[in-house]
Chains A and B, each alone.
Chain A
Amino acid sequence: MEVINRHKMPTQPCDVRICNFDEVALGYTADLAQKEADRCLNCKNAPCMKGCPVGVRIPDFIAALKVGDIRRSADILHEDNNLPAICGRVCPQENQCEKLCVRREKLGGAVAIGNLERYVADWSLKNDTAKEKCSCNANISVAVVGSGPASLSCAADLARAGASVTIYEALHQPGGVLVYGIPEFRLPKKLVSEEIDRIKALGVNIVTNVVVGKTLYIDELLDAYDAVFIGSGAGLPSFLRIKGEGLGGVYSANEYLTRVNLMKAYDKNAVTPIIRAGKMVVVGAGNVAMDSARTARRLGAEVHLVYRRSRAEMPARLEEIEHAEEEGVIFDLLTNPVEILGKDGRVVGMRLIKMELGEPDASGRRSPKAVPGSEYEIECDGVVVALGTTPNPIIKDSFPLLGTTVKGTIAADECGRTNIDRMYTGGDAMTGAATVILAMGAGKRAAAAIIEDAKSGRRKNS
């Protein structure tokens, strides 16, 4: 059998893309999509599906694409995935569906399921103008708090099941991390709003500028709705807790990315200002660190990514790491910040220390140890701290009856049922910072639980 290799995603050339914020990955052409779809072996037991947190019928949507029925392919995709054009771009497929694909290296590599998903979903956004509509039979009303991936997915499933759904969003624009966090060059905002429009077309009502816990209280929602879903995410940024972190020019990744993405500071004419550093240090090595580093590159900075472990331990997706490297981000590995240096209130440099790897720690990764006497200083005029986030405390503080964990996440069963009757959760608010697709999966499970509990009349405390 002739081995056909996986078809690469066409991308903008490196030297061009670091000068713009347009999407890096250009998407398959019809021809590439057809050829890649033909690589799918259509396994009866569909191992790939076991890797999908929302259970997309992968072999079926690819089979429809194979025979040229792209509309049917899109319908199959939409049955299980409420945001396929987004997932096709930001899911870590290599750790999920594609990891379980039977086409291993010897057979040309896993089928590019994500790329095909993106192709079909994009086609659908362009061509399926008749949006899916639901007849809301208003048997149950649900308030959804937050409008990120968990909430959108939950709301869409609820609407399809006939519920009347209202989403309350704190910011001026819906989408959560999809609009404030993930950069334009990885996930165009126009596309996010088009996918959200699809969900609105299902009858979901979205109200912006409402901070639940401040503008509206949880008990008011419980009074007014049959159920409440909390998808408030994990938005609170962590800092390094070292000297100099309050200096001007030191950003949390959340702030840096929010200014650039949501507030459009990448546009020189934008009203929201951003410091355009000449030399930027990004601390951390997750996807958000890569997003920050690549954003800073596009804003014209020389970028150093400082990480205390080695490349092998970097938590970011391999694709993001490779893109960052291609774009000229310099990796300062086995290095840790000790102090941020300032002058007149602005950052002018950083003191770092070399690290070495010791025994594996609780996370299974080798734990880094400082090398005594190895401190050194570098100059920089900007710092982005991308060390993860913790759940936002507003809801917990405003509604202390809600059970939470020591980490600050909302305690719930596997379907998102909290200790409060008729109150559910999912996504980062429940698990701590994770991926878009895991949040979407949690949103779907909670939607199913809400419908099921409403039907069965199940009430925890009664």
Chain B
Amino acid sequence: MKNFEIIKKRRLAKNVCEYTIYAPSVARHCMAGQFVILRTDNDGERVPFTVCDYSRSEGTVRILVQEVGYTTLKLAEMKEGDALCDFVGPLGKPTDLSEYAKICLVGGGIGAAVIYPQAKQLQLEGKTFDVVLGAKNRDLLMYVDEFRGLADAFYPVTDDGSFGIKGFVTQELERLINGGMKYDCVFAVGPLPMMKAVCDVTRGYGIDTVVSMNTLMVDGTGMCGCCRVMLDGQVKYACIDGPEFDGHKIDFDEAMARGKLYAEHEHACRLRGGSWK
């Protein structure tokens, strides 16, 4: 097997694919919450992806990719047996929820990729936890069967009501809390506005909330500062201090503005249908 070879490619939704990459060097020390940086080809950019699953014995790392820009569209063109140019990790700090007893994992859209390894980890540790998973519609709701098998209770929600409860994850979370669920931690991963909204809910109930900041990055090792976020007025680097932070201390408005920085560039990529040159 070639290093960084795509062993398995599975389309989960219209613009979402799951890739299993052969990368024993990365799988060896990989833990839930960490991320990788990859380049598809020699002209490619460096893009971070949170590790969705890994197998140390098979030397594989799995990532979930939503097609939005050059790299993700290029990946979509690649086939099983093709190899990535570069694949480095595991980067960032692993998740640490050890101090909590009753946890609610909240995933939005592609954020399912980040709470999935966490669910597996918590199950291994014998902890009790619920999962609230949301998406626009049924097609974009990822790993439904897997979560159902792992969580104590699983609450799927969709914006359009095509699956599970109609509504947003925040409404479902609030309903659960008001219904008497005593969570001491909410672990929320998804688009920035969703994480911000979850934090706004939990703040009111005084529930610790951990979020995973999927920022823009270049090197991913603390060198460029592109991934910086403001945490309680302090500059933190998502790549080496995170990617997970206390959500109640994150300046989400700044993070959202930073996240949109190259939106036009990504849009141009999509218009060209992935063939950038």
Q: Is the CB of A215 within 8 A of B90?
A: yes
Q: Are A172 and B88 in contact (CB under 8 A)?
A: yes
A241 is an interface residue with CB less than 8 A from chain B: yes
Interface size grouping (class) on chain A: 35 or more
In the assembled complex, A332 has its CB within 8 A of some CB on chain B = no
- Give the contacting residue for B91; candidates A211, A263, A272, A273; CB below 8 A: A211
A381 shortest CB reach to chain B, Å: 12
CB-defined contacts of B224 to chain A, threshold 8 Å: 237, 252, 254-255, 258-259
Q: Is there an interface contact between A393 and B240, defined as CB atoms closer than 8 Å? A: yes
Cβ < 8 Å to A, chain B residues 25-59: 25-26, 28-29, 39, 43-46
B89 lies within 8 A of chain A by Cβ: yes
B101 at interface (Cβ–Cβ under 8 A)?
no
| A241-B221 contact given A172-B46, A209-B88, A345-B260, CB 8 Å threshold | no
Please give, as numbers and ranges, the residues of chain A lying within 8 Å of B29 by CB-CB distance.
214-215, 217
Bound form: Cα–Cα A210–B277 in Å: 29
Contacts of B277 in A (CB 8 A): 269
Query: What's the least CB distance linking A65 to chain B, in Å?
Result: 38
| A246/B43 in contact, CB under 8 A | no
Give the distance in Å from the alpha carbon of A324 to the alpha carbon of B251 in the complex.
37
A241 in contact with B258 (CB, 8 Å): no
Contact B88 A215 (CB under 8 A): yes
B228 at the interface (CB under 8 A from A): yes
Q: Which residues of B contact A272 (CB under 8 A)?
A: 45-46, 218
Give the distance in Å from the alpha carbon of A272 to the alpha carbon of B46 in the complex.
8
Q: B190-223 toward A: CB 8 Å interface, digit per residue (1/0)?
A: 0000000000000000000000000000110111
Question: Are the C-beta atoms of B240 and A394 separated by less than 8 Å?
Answer: yes
A394 to B223, CA, bound (A): 11
A258 with B219: CB separation less than 8 A: yes
B-chain residues with CB within 8 Å of residue A172 when the two chains form the complex? 39, 46, 85-86, 88
* Contacting pair A271 B43 (CB below 8 A): yes
| B240 neighbours in A (Cβ, 8 Å) | 393-394, 397
Q: Max chain A CB contacts within 10 Å: which of B26, B221, B230?
A: B221
Known: A210-B88, A215-B88, A345-B254. A254 touches B70 (CB 8 A): no
With contacts A236-B222, A237-B223 known, is A214 near B91, CB below 8 A? yes
Count of chain B residues with a beta carbon within 8 Å of a chain A beta carbon: 43
Provide the bound-state CA to CA distance between A171 and B254, in Å.
28
Which among A180, A208, A236, A255 is the interface contact of B226 at CB below 8 angstroms? A255
Q: Is residue B276 within 8 Å, beta carbon to beta carbon, of the partner chain? A: yes
Mark out the residues of chain A between 243 and 266 whose CB falls within 8 Å of any chain B CB in the assembled complex: 245-249, 251-252, 254-255, 258-259, 263-264
What 0/1 pattern do residues 190 to 215 of A give for CB contact below 8 A with B? 00000000000000000011110011
B100 at the interface (CB under 8 A from A): no
Complex Cα distance A392/B89, Å? 16
| A269 to B256 CA separation, bound complex (whole angstroms) | 26
**How long is the Cα–Cα vector from A170 to B46 in the complex, in angstroms?**
12
Return the contact of B218 from the options A255, A345, A393 (Cβ within 8 A).
A255
Q: Does B11 contact A (CB under 8 A)?
A: no
Determine how close the nearest CB of chain A comes to the CB of B239; give it in whole angstroms. 10
B223 and A235 within 8 A (CB): yes
Cβ contact within 8 Å between B261 and A248: yes
CB-nearest residue of chain A to B269: A271
Cα–Cα distance between A111 and B221 once the two chains are bound (Å): 42
Q: Please, how many angstroms separate the alpha-carbon atoms of A374 and B247 in the complex?
A: 39
For the complex of A and B, the 3 pairs showing the least CB-CB separation, nearest first, are A345-B257, A255-B224, A252-B225
Listed by A's residue number, 22 A-B pairs whose Cβ atoms lie within 8 Å are: A172-B39, A172-B88, A180-B223, A209-B88, A211-B88, A211-B89, A235-B222, A239-B235, A246-B229, A246-B251, A248-B261, A249-B261, A251-B225, A252-B224, A259-B224, A264-B43, A269-B276, A271-B276, A345-B258, A346-B257, A394-B221, A397-B240
